[in-house]
Structures are given as C-alpha cells and as structure tokens.
Structure 1
Amino acid sequence: MLQFFKYVLATFVGIILFFFLSFAILVGIGSMFSSDEEVVINDKSVLKLDLNQPIQEVGVDNPFSDFGGMFSGNNDVVGLKDILEALKNAQADDKIKGIYLKTDSPEAGWATLEEIRHQLTEFKKSKKFIVTYAESYSEKGYYLASVADKIYLNPVGGIEWNGLSVEYSFFKGTFDKLDVKPLVFRVGEFKSAIEMFTRSDMSEASKKQSSELITAINGNFLKNISASRGIPVPQLQNLADSLGVENPKAALNNKFITNLGYQDELESYLKKELKVEEKKNISYVGVSKYLKGPAKVKEGDFNKRIGVLVAEGEITSGDGGDDNIGSDKFVKELKEIRENDKIKAVVIRINSPGGSALASDIMWREIQLTAKKKPVIASMSDVAASGGYYMAMGCDTIVAQPNTITGSIGIFGLVFNVTDFMNNKLGITFDGVGTSPHADWPTATREMTEFEKSMIQKSVNEGYETFTRKAAQGRRMSVEKLKSLAQGRVWSGVEAKQNGLVDVLGGVDDAVKIAAKAAKLSEGDYRVRYYPEKKKPLDEFFNKMIGDEEEKVTAKNLGELAPYVKMYKKLMNMGGMQARMPFEMVIK
C-alpha cells in the first residue's frame, strides 16, 4: 500500500510540474508575440547600463527572465553589440538625458571593456551626463566608471587598486600522483600552453611574455584613466604599488571618485539634474527594452550591407556548439555570406584563444576564398590568439584593441600515457595484436617508441611551418621575420601593431568603416548585419536551461571535483595538433 501511495504522489507531482511548465511556455510564447508592441520611452529618461554580468559578443533574450524561481538563472545575456548600439542611439535621442552606469565588477575581457569605454566617451560629446554608483569597484569596473561625470562610492565600500596580475594552475603534481605521463610535442620557445601538464611553475619564457603583456595592458589602462580623471600616470602607479587607495576616503582625496554616498543620494542628485520632483520615480530604461523602442540610428540601403560574422570560443572541428567555433558551421555561414551579393564586405569578429589546428586551417581557407570576392576585415576582441590569429591572418586588414591578446603563432601536440595509471591505480592492463608494428599508433596505453614520438614531432614541425608561412604571406613579410615574432609568443594589441602582426588599433566599428571604404560604400549608405542571426528566445531558453541543469547536476554529484572534470573534458578536446594560446589567461 505504501508503494502505491508513493506512485500516486509521484504522478500527482509530475502532473503539476507539467501544467506549470506548459503555462510558462504559453506565457513565453505570448510575450514573444506581444514583443512587436511599441515601447514608449518617456521624456527625461535615463539609460540604465548594468554591466555586472557576463558580456558576450551577441546577446540572448529570455522571455521567461521576469518569472524568477526556476528561471532565475536564465536571465538575458547582454551583448556587446547591443550595448554599443544602445549608446549610439541614446547619444542622439532627446528623450535620453543621461546614463546610469552600474559597473561594480563586470565579467568581460579588457578589449570588450575598451569598446564600451570608447563608446561612453563618444556619448559624452552629446553633453549628456554619465553617473555611476557602486558599493565597491573592481579595477575592471573602475576602468569604465572613470569616464563618468559623477562617481559615487558607498562610504564603507572600496576600490580595488593594486595592479594587474595573472595566475596559472599547474597539474604536474596531480599527474605524478596519478601515474599519468603527458607527452608533449611543440615548436616555439613561448608555446607554454603545455607547461601546465609538465611543470609546477612558469618557465622563464612564459614569465617574460606574461609580464610584458600585462605591463602593456596596464600602460593603456593607466593612460586612459589618467586622461579621464586628470591624475598623472606615475601617481596612479605609485598608488597601486603602495596600496594608497585603501579606503573610500583615500579614493575621494586622490580624485578617483567625486562623491562618497549611498544610492539614494545619487538618485536625489539625478532628480535635481532631471528636474524631477523628489517624490516621483526616475524613468530608467534598460538596454534590451530601449532597443525595442522607436529611437534608431538611421540605417542605409538594405541592398548594401556589411556582414559581421562572429567567431567566439574555442576552435573545434564539425558544427561545434553555442560556446565554441565549429569549422563546418563557420564555413557554411561564410559561404552564404560570400554568395550573397547584397553583402558588399565582411568583418570577421574574432574572440578566440584557438584550438584545433586543422579546423583553423579549414576556416582560413574559406576566408581566403571570400577575400578574393569581397573585402574581408578582421576585428579582434578580447583574445584572437593562435588559431584565432590563424583566422585573422587570412583577412585583408587586421584591427585590434590596444589590450587585445593576440599572436601565439605556434603548434603543439599532446598525448597522455595512462598505462601506469590504469595498471597501478585500477589494476587494468592492455595487450593486443596488429598487422604492423605501429598499427595502434598514436596510443595512450603503452610507451611509444622514439621513432613514433619523432613522427608526431615531425607533424608538429610541419604544422608550424605551414602556420608561419601562411602568416608571413598574409602579413606580407619574410618568413624569417615572422618566425622571430612567432614561437608561440603572445602580444598585446599595441605590441602587435608595433611589430606588424596588426594593422590598425580600434574596435568593431573601426573595422566596419574600413570594410565599407574597401567596398567603396559611403558613410550612411549601408547597413550592418551580424551573423549568425540571433537565436529565437524560446530555443535559447531551453538550451540554456538544459545546459545549466547539466552543470548543476555535475557540481552536485562531484562537489570539489567538478572543476577537474571540466578540465578533463577540455583535455579530451585537445586531440590532434593544437593552435592554442598559452594557458587560460585571465588578467585581473
């Protein structure tokens, strides 16, 4: 009888969940149908730019985000494209009187921040205000906040001001304990992507390139803040070295902020600026809603388009997924763009640390074919390194931000010998037969011979020669000079511009203008279209919900081991030769 009641209860709960989900879907579908309703922007509105979230190249709308509960983890994903478009529209929109910037700790790379910061400075030319408030500012958050006219900081908050750093994880000790032997095949002194498996610390070459890279990015960071706040660069550096901005009062005394105060005090200031009565609410409008409103930057001729093809994530063969670049999918998309006569020029927007060398070469070929028919410009985002640079070097012109991470021209191969692990830890052994001495090569279940290892190294060497030869051809420089810049070394955008790996410093808008000029299109006479086209909200919602649930289940079942399983999955994607940048470089 008890078992019977258990089944009845389970069925009842299942029915309730089914009806709830069905209702939510119907509401979501209804909200999509009603999305065509005109959005009214009130007079004296303030554009609320909340950047305290992950920022992708292209955003995703979720029709269920307002429901909370089981949908709370599926909020809209803000897109850089949308942010820039909203700022341009707001600059010319009389109903938008200013911007309220929320930028405590944005989750974005330095080049993405550079794009946003540049557009904020352009917005200020309209003589409209930018204000910001935070309980505390990270260095990334303050980089954006520093352009504001009024910078409010909570009186008991703080600013992170201690310089930039990078930190890497090393797994040699883990592999030693597991009796796993990584076999590494590489070309290039600086190709340090594999050091995490073979060392317990950074090599001198890796330290050199990492130090020079963050020094270059820090120089651009300080220079721009100095220009905005009127604080000399040496003083900014000294304050970081001495931890001189240790509390809100020190931040105020050193002119990092304009006001110590709470959010209600900022809102009182805004109401005075807007001439709104204290008892009334400020008319805030978010990016997503604002872009659905009537204010639009005038678009040009529909038959004259600049296509911006976004390539974001690691590079892999096949179709790939939402968070990586599949070579088959990329080739199909680019071929359609190439054959569309209404698209007069192409911008390849790259945000990738690289990945499969084979997939990178396949995409390079498709870019070359497209460049024979119409102008193709590369626009580098946060990172366009190794395989990401492989794509860019096939373009007519390469545009990068000063703090883009690029270069890393090199190849490596990685094979794990798990014989001792399987035998000593699990008691599993291997044996077999073949029709030739190397029928099972390459293998992870026996020690490879020196001859077999030399054959893998030979393939890596050949891959490196192909990479450098094509890069030299694309950069119109000698192979010898190109190789002096290669060896797997990463560069900042500034350094890459100086050594000839990049043509122009700027953002995606600069790349679009260069593409338009190459296609002989006049300003205002063309439209910009992003590809692949934005996903339908309902499709994206279910994809994300399934992905989030899988991640939650993994984290719940594995606990502290979950990050290592994630790393294992990444290792499994490193089959074959890799054109991948050193480490996962997070500058903070």
Structure 2
Amino acid sequence: MAEKSRGVFATLFFWAWSLFNFIRRFVFGVIALFLLLIFFVALRAGGGKVVLQERTALVLDPKGNIVEQYSSDPAQRAFAGAFGQKIREVQLRDLIRTIDAAAADKRIERLVIEPDQIASAGMSTLHEIGAAIERFKAAGKEVVAVSNSMSQGQYLIAAHANEVLLHPDGDLLLEGLGRYRTYYKDALDWLGVDVHLFRVGEYKSYAEPYIRNDASPESKEADLYWMNGVWGDYLKEIGGARKLDPKAIAAQIENYSTSIKAANGDLAKLALDAKLVDKLATRDEAEALLIQKGVKEENSFRQIDFQDYATLVQRENPLDTRPQVGVVVAQGEILDGDQAAGTVGGESTAKLVRQARENRNIKAVVLRVNSPGGSAFASELIRREIELTKAAGKPVIVSMGDVAASGGYWISMNGDQIFAEPTTITGSIGIFGLFMNFPKTLAKLNVHTDGVGTTSLAGALDPRRALDPKVGDIIQSIIDKGYQNFITKVAAARKKKPEEIDAIARGRVWSGAQAKERGLVDQLGGLREATAAAAQAAKLGDNYQVRYVEKSLSAWERFIVSLSNDASASFVHSLVPKSMRTLLAQPDVQGQLKLLSSLDSNKVGVFAYCFCEIK
C-alpha cells in the first residue's frame, strides 16, 4: 500500500512539474515574441533621430560610479536602458571620448558640468576627466559647472570650469584624505579564533586588522607618505585650475573651525569667499544664465545630454579601417579562472591579451590597469601573456588608473613602458597568506574535534583543529618563495637588482609620482598618453584608432544591444506597458534572460537554474 501511495505521489509530482515547466516556457516564449515584435515595429518606426543644432550646450552629468569597464553584461544594460531603468555606471572612456569629440564639434558651443550625482570615482579618474575639460577649453570653448552640493571629489572636476555656480543653500567642504580601518584582534580573541598571518614585508598591512587592535607604525608611516603625495597633487590641480595658491587652500582647510564660525555656518558663502566658486545661484538662476549665454529652447537652454551626444557621434562617424591600438582593461580584483567584466580573471584577461596579440589589425597593446591585486597565480598568467606579446613583436604599454598595486603591479611590470597618474596608488610589492582556525571557539560550546590521519599533513588546514607549528613553517616558506619570485621578476622587468627592488617593495604603497622617482613607473600620464606611446612604438604616427579588446557579444546580446541603441529606443519604452517593464526589471527574470544570452546555438547543454531567492 505504501509503495502504491509513493507511486501516486510521484505521478502527481511529475505532472505538476511538467505543468510548471510548460507555463514557464510559455511565459518566456510570449515575452520573447513580444520583444521581437517591438524590435521590428521600432525599426519600421525609424525617425526619432537626434538632430544637433548650432550653439548647443553639451551637458555632462554622469550618474553613479565612473568605471573603466561596466560590471554588468551588455544584455542587462540594454534591457535597463530600453525599459527605463537607470544604469549607475559610466565608463571613463566614454566621458573622455565625448568631451574630446565635442571640443572639435562646431555645433557644441559650451560644456555644462553637473557633478552632483557622481557616486564614486578615483582621484586619477577625476584627473583624466579634468585634463579632457582643459582640452575642451583650449579649443576656445566655455565650461560652466552647476551644482547644488559637491564633495571634494566632485569638485575636482568642477574646478576646471571657467565659471562655477553653487546653490546658495549648498555646500562645498574640502577635508583632505584619510584612511581609517576597523581592527578585530580583541573580538577574535574573545571568540577564541586563532589568526595566523604569513607575510613578507613590514609594510604589507592588508591583514593587520585581524592580528592587531591598531595600525602598526609602519602602516601609518607608509599611508601618510603616499596620501600626503596624492593630497598635494589634488591641491596643486585645483589651485592651478582656480588660480589659487595650494598652500593658501591648505591653510584655509586647517582654519575651518574659525572661518565657518565667522560665516555663521554658511558653507556656500565660505566657498565663495575662498574663491573656490564664482557665484551663488539657485537652479533656476543658473538656467537663466545659461539661456542668456546660449539659445533658449523649450523653456531652457539648447542642450544635449552627453550619452545622447555619444550615440550621435558614433552614428555619424564612418567605419574606421585604420591600424588599431588594442586596449585590454584589467579592472577589479584579480581572481582565478574565467571572470565577468568588472573583475580580472586569470584565464579570461589572459585570453583577451592573447586575442590582441593574434589579431593582425592590432599593432600595439595598452594594458589599462585599475586593480588592487588578488591571486598571485592569476596575476602570473596575465603577466606571461604580456611577455609573450612583446616577444611576438607587438609593443605593450601599461596605463595605470586609480590603483595598480600588488597583483595589479605584477601584471604591469613587463610593459615596455609603464604610465601612471601622479595620484595613482601603486607598488605594494609583497605577498601574504591568512589562515584562521577556531578550536577554542568550538570548545566554548563544548564541541570538540578528534580523529586520525595517515600523515602529519592530513587535515592540517582543518579550521576546527589547532595549526601545527610545522605546517606554519611550511606556509611561511611558500610565502617567502612567492615574495622572492615577485621581486626577482620585477627586477628583471625593470632592469634592476632584486635587492634594489626589495628596498622599495616589502609591501609598501607609493603614489604614481613617488613610484616614478623610485623606478617602478616610467612616465606620468593617463590613458591618452599611453595610447599615443603605443602608437609611436608601433610606428603608426597619428594614423591609428583605439579599439577595446573585450569579450565578444552573443547573438542574443547583439540583438538586445541593437534594440537599445536604436534611435527609437524611447519609442520602445513608451510602447511597452508598465506591467511588462516591471516584470522585466525583476532580478529573477533578468537572471533567466542572462542565462538565455549564454546559450550557444552550436552546442547542446544541460543547465541547472534555480528560479529562486532566499532572503
């Protein structure tokens, strides 16, 4: 009887699952057909193209994080754009290209900067944008910055404007650079957790919070040294842009307690008195000023958003057949294996370098690094591909962004030339290993571990057991070997002796300017300068184009990108019902669509995908 019941239950379960699977396939089939219909209707609709008129102002109002490379895939971004979702990332390359194109475009009269919604951007990233703004001004065009409230990072861009307008009730406060961390030693001791840190270099402080309750003297010394260098460059840049003495700006900051009180707490007035801004103006007053400067159009000034302008420029430019300088982006933590965009993968990033090497149209390679490091093995895979690319006769130039430290320096060391911004964070040539075990923690709960092993190493890294000192010696020996390997490779790449590298390594961090003084960097400059150097090394002169070497889009991704890039994307957005847009914005639906984008029509695959989320 029990077997019969089980049989009935299994049958019911089978039919229930079949029904669910049918409904799932039907729903997504309908969505796919609906999107296909929208696509063809949009194509037929045509029109809607942006027409750029004379005396137009380009509005630069990036929202979210400014990154080297998107952290989401093309399909996700395309769906978000087509269905009215906000993308909270902007690529640095797109901003630079747009500003430079506008500088040469006679239809663009001025640049209007609205920096308030920049969420995150490194100092070197902001410096590169500032340099592009200066090129725009050098073309004889005006730049106006309009802000409600600015952080010191946002101000680094605004300071390059000919005129800076701040809301009367807004604020601008320059505070300097700080690095404060949370330390856990007492808490871990109280929990009974044993922490074992293996490292080479007294300045390799990444894991100090687990073994100390405060920063070590070496950590404070090194951090303050490079931060003073970066902060000095910041003051120098805004001082130069605003025609102010950097020392006077620094003195004002130190005197804030008095000056803010004297201004009755009015930070906007204080910024005006300090000549950090030119005028206090509400939004409507700023808009009226811009109308007066330009052309009135639809109750505002004639303008185009930088994203719309970038699309327009791309459409207007014909197919470029010139020789290529290939740019490979290494952004984020360095991890083993194949990784998505926004993260450096030992296998995936090495493959991109290899593709650049094997592409006959690419005559030189620029490795754009913005990474704090990670896996040493993954770093070595990428470094080796750089070495092979040079051996194949293609120049490799490294361009360091905000940070290229530790593993980020490892993958950079073999470049024919290394470029860094003065504010780049680099160096940190060192290695560490961290292991935690918690037998004392378990003992507090009256839980114990026991057993046997065929050798003394069997189960030695079981976190429930105490670490055998002999095993600790083994790990430290491996770390020592890794460090010697690191400095030996750097010495060979930089044509120095290992002991010379050791003296400036030992995990110590430097600014880009400090690294150049110590021979770890060849030139100070950004991606633009590195690309020009790559073209020169390949003897291309000025006759070249820049191509980013990235993962190829699948057929599904190309379809979605074409849909979102079409000039009638706004028409698509208006056509799609709100309920459908809401459905497509759901994380589980986007996950299913991402899965669909990974399918290869030439292969038969079995996919296990859980349409679920635990909260």
Task: Tell me the TM-score normalised to structure 2 length.
Answer: 0.81
Q: 2:155 aligns with which of 142, 155, 171?
A: 142
Q: Are residues 406 and 263 of structure 1, via their aligned partners in 2, closer, same or farther at CA, if it must alter by over 3 Å?
A: same
Question: What amino acid does structure 2 have at the position aligned with 1:269?
Answer: L
Q: 1:163 aligns with which of 166, 169, 176?
A: 176
Q: What pairs with 1:226-265 in structure 2 (closer than 5 Å)?
A: 226-243=239-256, 244=259, 247-265=267-285
How far apart in 1 are the matches of 2:343 and 2:37?
31
Q: 2:94 aligns with which of 82, 85, 89?
A: 82
Q: Are residues 340 and 549 of structure 1, via their aligned partners in 2, closer, same or farther at CA, if it must alter by over 3 Å?
A: closer
Instruction: Find the counterpart in structure 1 of residue 605 from structure 2.
Output: none
How far apart in 2 are the matches of 1:24 and 1:100?
39
Instruction: Find the counterpart in structure 2 of residue 487 from structure 1.
Output: 506
How far apart in 2 are the matches of 1:349 and 1:546?
33
Q: 1:420 aligns with which of 440, 454, 464?
A: 440
CA RMSD of aligned residues (A): 3.3
Aligned-pair CA distance for 1:534 = 7.5
Q: What pairs with 1:485-524 in structure 2 (closer than 5 Å)?
A: 485-523=504-542
Cα shift readout 1:339-360 (whole Å, capped 9, x = no counterpart) = 1121110000001000011111
Q: Secondary structure at the match of 1:477?
A: coil
The number of residues matched between the two structures is 539
* Conservation of the 8 A alpha-carbon contact between 1:386 and 1:408: yes
Q: Are residues 140 and 307 of structure 1, via their aligned partners in 2, closer, same or farther at CA, if it must alter by over 3 Å?
A: same
How far apart in 1 are the matches of 2:399 and 2:537?
15
* Conservation of the 8 A alpha-carbon contact between 2:372 and 2:407: yes
* Conservation of the 8 A alpha-carbon contact between 2:397 and 2:417: yes
Instruction: Find the counterpart in structure 2 of residue 53 from structure 1.
Output: 64
Q: Secondary structure at the match of 1:383?
A: strand
Question: What amino acid does structure 1 have at the position aligned with 2:144?
Answer: V
Q: For structure 1, list consecutive stretches of 5 or more residues without a partner in the other structure.
A: 1-9, 558-588
Question: What amino acid does structure 2 have at the position aligned with 1:223?
Answer: K
Instruction: Find the counterpart in structure 2 of residue 406 from structure 1.
Output: 426
Q: 2:485 aligns with which of 462, 466, 469?
A: 466
Q: What pairs with 1:318-337 in structure 2 (closer than 5 Å)?
A: 318-337=337-356
Which deviates the most, 55-64 or 439-448? 55-64
How far apart in 2 are the matches of 1:544 and 1:344?
43
Q: What pairs with 1:21-420 in structure 2 (closer than 5 Å)?
A: 25=35, 29=39, 38-59=49-70, 62-65=77-80, 72=85, 74-75=86-87, 77-104=89-116, 106=118, 107-243=120-256, 244=259, 247-276=267-296, 280-294=299-313, 302=321, 304-373=323-392, 374-420=394-440
Cα shift readout 1:431-450 (whole Å, capped 9, x = no counterpart) = 33322121223332211222
Aligned-pair identity (%) = 33
Cα shift readout 1:88-129 (whole Å, capped 9, x = no counterpart) = 100001111111111126311111111111111111011211
How far apart in 2 are the matches of 1:463 and 1:289?
49
How far apart in 1 are the matches of 2:44 and 2:225?
52
Task: Tell me the TM-score normalised to structure 1 length.
Answer: 0.84
Aligned-pair CA distance for 1:169 = 2.2
Question: What amino acid does structure 2 have at the position aligned with 1:306?
Answer: V
How far apart in 1 are the matches of 2:586 and 2:101?
30
Aligned-pair CA distance for 1:522 = 1.0
Q: Are residues 256 and 216 of structure 1, via their aligned partners in 2, closer, same or farther at CA, if it must alter by over 3 Å?
A: same
Q: Are residues 393 and 31 of structure 1, via their aligned partners in 2, closer, same or farther at CA, if it must alter by over 3 Å?
A: farther
How far apart in 2 are the matches of 1:350 and 1:377?
11
Instruction: Find the counterpart in structure 2 of residue 568 from structure 1.
Output: none
Cα shift readout 1:368-406 (whole Å, capped 9, x = no counterpart) = 111112100110011000000001101111000110000
Cα shift readout 1:285-336 (whole Å, capped 9, x = no counterpart) = 2222111214789789635110000011101111023332110111222111
Question: What amino acid does structure 2 have at the position aligned with 1:477?
Answer: K
Which deviates the most, 383-392 or 228-237? 228-237
How far apart in 1 are the matches of 2:521 and 2:419?
6
Aligned-pair CA distance for 1:546 = 5.6
Q: Secondary structure at the match of 1:516?
A: helix
Q: For structure 2, list consecutive stretches of 5 or more residues without a partner in the other structure.
A: 1-19, 565-583, 593-610
